[in-house]
Structure 1
Amino acid sequence: MSKATKIISFIGITIAMFMGTLDSTIVNIALPQIMTHFDASLTDTSWVATIYTLALAVFMITGSKIADRYGRKKIMLLGLALFGGFSAACMLATSLPELIAFRFFQGLGGAIITPIVLPMGIEIFGKAQMSKIASVVGAVTALAAAGGPPIGGVIIKYASWRWVFGINVPLTIAAFLIIAMGVRESYDESLAGRIDLPGTILLTLGLGGLTFGLLEGRQYGWQSGIILGTLIGGVLAIGLFIFIESKVKHPLLELDLFREKTLTASSLVYFLTGFTLVSPTLILNYFLQDVLNDTALHAALIIVPVSLTIMVAMPLGTKLFDQVGAVPVTLIGLLVMAASLLLLSFITTTTPKAVIITFLVIHGVGFGFSSVSLVASVKHLPKNKSGIGSGIVNAARQIGTCLGIAILVTVLDNNVNTAKQHIHQDAIQIVDRQQLSPKVNKVVHQQLNSLFSTTGSAKLTTKNKQTNLRRALKQAAKSQVDLPQPQKGTDLYQVYQAQKKLALATDNLKAGNQQLALTLTKLENQNTAISKLSVASQKINLGNQKISQGQKKLLVGLKQLAQKEALTTALRKIKHTKNQQISQAFSHTYLVGAVIVLILSPIALLTDRKPLT
């Protein structure tokens, strides 16, 4: 095979890897449009993303084992056919259940494609080039995982949500043709016999139960029967799987592989990269869109530096890996990721976007260095075991992402709920300190109770209720009944008091003029001049009445203006409190992630046989 053929063949399999990983994150940003198109609930629509992640996590190890046994090229082409075919089906789906079903089979294709790219690359270039191959595969994987939201944002901005799936079709065709014509078949020659069916079933049930429980625990409730049942059932199935695999002659997963500590430790490090990726691609995205009200595209463009940094950091980390080994590189990567999460915890609603991007670049460096664990995981495995090793480490990253969603999004929801309670309490106190009419005060309390009646970070509901609050306050503020006086010490209070005195003087003048008019009326028959004075007095009295009415309207207007200022002040203070509390909710979520990564970072010390010097 010529060098050019090798390069083209490798491009073909990296396209496959890119697509399989990209679709685990690109769809999230399109969920609102899909929800609107099918007139579905957010809970039902979220299954479009969940089912793909579930399929990836569950079938990666099985897919890599089948490829090792029956031929990686044949199984890769089968995976591409599934992935591309059901990508087209997703694009053309006419109902939400159809779309979810098609996404499952697309995920099955992705689970086949993703883990066998690394062993196929090693087969093309030889194990001597493994570090370079793995660095490219790792960079492409990281780029695809982190690049999903920005790419999806651009597609949503300029095309339909359907093209989030449709973009895969031409790429799949290109990858299929390149691999079919340029890549040689490869196997794990040490395998014999049929695939371990009981082990396959148990592993599928175990990973399926655990993944479903982690992804849906927040939705159904962690103490619900279905979640407890799937999590406990998953653990039991995994336990039974391990027992059976230790007894059968031809196991699905050779447990002896885990005696190679570098595989086990590297898989755990890669697991942590998947865990931390939730912070920039999901948690920060919530903050940008739901708190700062950025558009999906704008939020995606802010997040994209993570992807660009990984493209540089992963090859750099691999070069360092070749020189000093995996331990210092992966350890530094984990520590830098923990530090970046700590930095993200300082973000507030007033933080400049340039600072946020800087923190994301730091995260990308840590992610790129930590992803060297993909190389370390198969470094000390025999060449024919690189396929199953790749399946294990890639499955670990997917499960890490699932656990990250389960922990960090649940923590965020709890933090947001607590923040909403504090905001509600503070808002009531702020409103009660303002001088408002009984009607406006009642409306404000009703709207605040409605606004904070939801739990979690439900964006659409909250936005609608904020609109309703403004509309209701605007309508209530038009009422002129029982308006309070302006607050003492304000400029409006002084103007109001001066105008009140002027109105009182006008009323006295009007009363005096009315008395004069009555007297002149009695005398006008006796004297023509007095008759003229009487007419003039009546005109003056009419003018005084108009002035008095105008002054009363002015007093009402001053009261309404004072009430408007009081409402504006109250809403401004409530917004300030809200921004503080919500920023703290996100901050505490990042801190939880940072602590978890920091505590588990010593695992990196076992990612290589070479001691850290």
Structure 2
Amino acid sequence: MNKLKTVLPVLLIGNLLCMMDVSIMTIVLPKIQSAFNVSLNDLSWALNIYTILFATMIIPLGRLAVRFGRNRMVLLGLIVFGIGSLMTGNAANLPWMLVGRAIQSIGAASIIPTSMVIGLELSIQENRNKVVAMLAGVQGLAVALGPSVGGFVAQYFGWRWVFLMNVPLVILDIVIFVIVLPLKHEATQAIKIDWLGAGLIMATLFCLSLALIKGYTWGWESSAILGLAGAALLSFIGFIIRERQTATPMIDLSLFKSRNFDGSGLALVLCNFFLGAFAALMPTLLTKVHGESELNAALKITPYSVAVMLSVILTSLLVKRLNNKLLVGTGFAMIAGSYWLITQLPVTNQYTKLIVGEICLGIGYGLVAATVNILVVADFHGVKLTDSQSVANVLRQVGMILSIAVFMSLLSSNVQTAKNQTLTYSHRTVSRLNVTQTVKTKANQELARKFKQNTNSNSQVNQHVAFAGVTVSTAKRQQAVQKATKIELSKVAMVHQIPVTMIPTAQRHQVQTAVTTAVNRTIDHQVRVTNQQLKLGVNRIRRRLTRNLNNAFLKTLQVIIPLALLSILVVVTFKFRD
């Protein structure tokens, strides 16, 4: 236990850095987009590549850690992660950043599951819940704090330091690591690596992750997505067949004979699925719809970060004293209730219900995640413990990736509906304005152009509606002055019963000056009145669009409420405590 107290801080730092980099980029994407001058769709690969490779490499690297040494694997992972962070922070362009993010993700996949196994193996059975409490708590906190830390660092130090700040912390962790953990005489197991099985499971996770992440962008029925889905299915079937036949499987399938493991795996997918929706949608809702700055948005979702950490830690410490089914069921019920509160968010920037809801979400997630994180390893030691952690981490990632895929697709559809509804409203609003038909036609054309922009990316989620208004060119003003002057000179000639050409030059000049002043005054008044009308109309349209976009996000999140309630049924898979 004394050894564990020395080692645990080292493992915590590594877990904190790796898991934070899963979510930290979400808040700084606009700044990086401006710096590299690339589309958000291209830049999204900086997020996707980290998530995809992280999920893909966990199982093979976990098995390699058993053969070559868990301590060595974590140390190597820290070095790789640090190099990737340095490359990402110093990236001169997007391709260089993608390489850096890929290296980061491989390092993270080497650290996360293996460090949990190290901590568990150093603890006695009675203290496993405390180890899980610390490591799972810091992982949950890291993912939740990512946007907040990213927003703060980017605003005051620049977006590059979001990644460069990892480097000194990694160096510190490495120095302590080589002191407290053995490397030369570390115990290893001479197991064979099933490279065919490794390739099949990597292909499965890669194709599945890519299909889920890009489905809403490329189209769920596109040949690319259907091909990836088919490849994932075939690879998975091949993996299962291979694992049943080989004497050295990548994953011991007997894990799935444990009801606690099965129930925990399902619960991990579900709770991360529900958490992912909040993490993916809320920053965009607050910044693009409610007009909050990145930092303010991050601060407003910080309460749920703290709630996740405290709930995971406290639940892990109390899990042996309370009924596991009660904890999991209560957690899912709280998640459902939290989303009911969150989906009451008004457009008036009153955040009380949001804050209360996100705290409930953090508590509910902690109740589920902490309980199943302990149950998923409760029955295993040695290689099986490593396998259980690898599978558990994959399932967490699948839950998050599935969440982003499903809810981004739903959001895209709901946003398009919101814009179409607002466009219909804008036509009605413009038709009621006290302006000329020409102005109405021009306004409707401009509004239609704005609202029919591509909405396949959440970068198009905003309430920016503007109309430059009308102006009258100098040429048109002169034309109007000439016409009015001709009319006035005709009147003068008629009064004096003389031809227009006989009107004295001084009088002609006087008439022209007076007409010019009067015409410009009239035009200016008409332009001012017209633009005031347009401004009122645009303000009404902008308010309606904000309301409709807000409803689009909330409608997307409302889907979770019945799903979370149904998830309570997962408790029937767990075995009763003795």
User: How far apart are residue 40 of structure 1 and its match?
Assistant: 1.7
Residue 85 of structure 1: aligned partner? 83
Quick one: distance in 1 between partners of 2:475 and 2:559? 49
Residue 219 of structure 1: aligned partner? 217
Q: Over residues 319-348 of structure 1, what are the superposed CA-to-partner deviations in whole Å (9 max), with x where a residue is unaligned?
A: 331111321112211121122122222213
Residue type of the alignment partner of 1:183 = L
Distance 1:112 1:463, change over 3 A: same
2:561 to 570, 594, 604: 594
Residue 528 of structure 1: aligned partner? none
Quick one: distance in 1 between partners of 2:475 and 2:291? 32
Residue 563 of structure 1: aligned partner? 530
1:64 equivalent to 2:62? Answer: yes
Quick one: distance in 2 between partners of 1:360 and 1:262? 28
**Segment of structure 1 superposing worse, 456-465 or 351-360:** 456-465
| Residues 415 and 461 in structure 2, CA contact (< 8 A), matched pair in contact too | no
Residue 405 of structure 2: aligned partner? 406
Quick one: distance in 2 between partners of 1:475 and 1:412? 38
Superposition pairs of residues 222-237 of structure 1, within 5 angstroms: 222-237=220-235
TM-score, with normalisation over the residues of structure 2?
A: 0.89
Point out where structure 2 has 5 or more consecutive residues left out of the alignment: 478-486, 499-505
Quick one: distance in 1 between partners of 2:31 and 2:522? 50
1:136 equivalent to 2:134? Answer: yes
Q: Over residues 218-247 of structure 1, what are the superposed CA-to-partner deviations in whole Å (9 max), with x where a residue is unaligned?
A: 221111111111111101111110111011
- Equivalent position SS for 2:23: coil
Quick one: distance in 1 between partners of 2:258 and 2:472? 71
Q: Over residues 71-112 of structure 1, what are the superposed CA-to-partner deviations in whole Å (9 max), with x where a residue is unaligned?
A: 211111111111112211222222211211221121011011
Quick one: distance in 2 between partners of 1:477 and 1:348? 43
- Equivalent position SS for 2:191: coil
**Segment of structure 1 superposing worse, 27-36 or 206-215:** 27-36
Residue 415 of structure 1: aligned partner? 414
Quick one: distance in 2 between partners of 1:251 and 1:460? 44
Residue 449 of structure 2: aligned partner? 450
Residue 254 of structure 1: aligned partner? 252
**Segment of structure 1 superposing worse, 586-595 or 250-259:** 586-595
| Residues 10 and 124 in structure 1, CA contact (< 8 A), matched pair in contact too | no
Residue 395 of structure 2: aligned partner? 396
Distance 1:188 1:260, change over 3 A: farther
Residue 552 of structure 2: aligned partner? 585
User: How far apart are residue 608 of structure 1 and its match?
Assistant: 4.7
| Residues 288 and 462 in structure 2, CA contact (< 8 A), matched pair in contact too | no
1:376 equivalent to 2:375? Answer: yes
Residue 192 of structure 2: aligned partner? 194
Quick one: distance in 2 between partners of 1:77 and 1:144? 20
Superposition pairs of residues 89-100 of structure 1, within 5 angstroms: 89-100=87-98
Distance 1:387 1:359, change over 3 A: same
Quick one: distance in 1 between partners of 2:214 and 2:94? 18
Q: Over residues 437-484 of structure 1, what are the superposed CA-to-partner deviations in whole Å (9 max), with x where a residue is unaligned?
A: 233223212211210121326566677974xx433x254799989xxx
| Residues 376 and 608 in structure 1, CA contact (< 8 A), matched pair in contact too | no
Residue 438 of structure 1: aligned partner? 437
Distance 1:608 1:91, change over 3 A: farther
User: How far apart are residue 168 of structure 1 and its match?
Assistant: 1.2
Quick one: distance in 2 between partners of 1:371 and 1:478? 69
Quick one: distance in 2 between partners of 1:584 and 1:476? 39
TM-score, with normalisation over the residues of structure 1?
A: 0.84
| Residues 286 and 297 in structure 2, CA contact (< 8 A), matched pair in contact too | yes
Residue 262 of structure 2: aligned partner? 264
Quick one: distance in 2 between partners of 1:114 and 1:331? 27
1:385 equivalent to 2:391? Answer: no
Distance 1:599 1:187, change over 3 A: farther
Quick one: distance in 2 between partners of 1:192 and 1:457? 50
| Residues 135 and 315 in structure 1, CA contact (< 8 A), matched pair in contact too | yes
User: How far apart are residue 180 of structure 1 and its match?
Assistant: 1.8
Quick one: distance in 2 between partners of 1:421 and 1:50? 30
Residue type of the alignment partner of 1:470 = F
Point out where structure 1 has 5 or more consecutive residues left out of the alignment: 482-506, 522-537
| Residues 271 and 365 in structure 2, CA contact (< 8 A), matched pair in contact too | yes
Residue 470 of structure 1: aligned partner? 467
Quick one: distance in 2 between partners of 1:206 and 1:476? 63
Superposition pairs of residues 124-523 of structure 1, within 5 angstroms: 124-184=122-182, 193-372=191-370, 373-382=372-381, 385-456=384-455, 458=457, 466=465, 469-471=466-468, 473-475=469-471, 518=496
Quick one: distance in 1 between partners of 2:473 and 2:494? 36
| Residues 337 and 367 in structure 1, CA contact (< 8 A), matched pair in contact too | yes
Distance 1:547 1:355, change over 3 A: farther
Distance 1:513 1:44, change over 3 A: closer
Distance 1:289 1:125, change over 3 A: same
Residue type of the alignment partner of 1:206 = T
User: How far apart are residue 154 of structure 1 and its match?
Assistant: 0.8
Quick one: distance in 2 between partners of 1:608 and 1:120? 27
| Residues 331 and 605 in structure 1, CA contact (< 8 A), matched pair in contact too | no
Q: Over residues 273-331 of structure 1, what are the superposed CA-to-partner deviations in whole Å (9 max), with x where a residue is unaligned?
A: 22122233220111111112211111111111111111211122223311113211122
User: How far apart are residue 549 of structure 1 and its match?
Assistant: 7.6
1:35 to 33, 36, 58: 33
Residue 500 of structure 1: aligned partner? none
| Residues 80 and 172 in structure 1, CA contact (< 8 A), matched pair in contact too | yes
How many positions carry a matched residue from both structures? 560
Quick one: distance in 2 between partners of 1:440 and 1:253? 69
Quick one: distance in 1 between partners of 2:516 and 2:150? 62
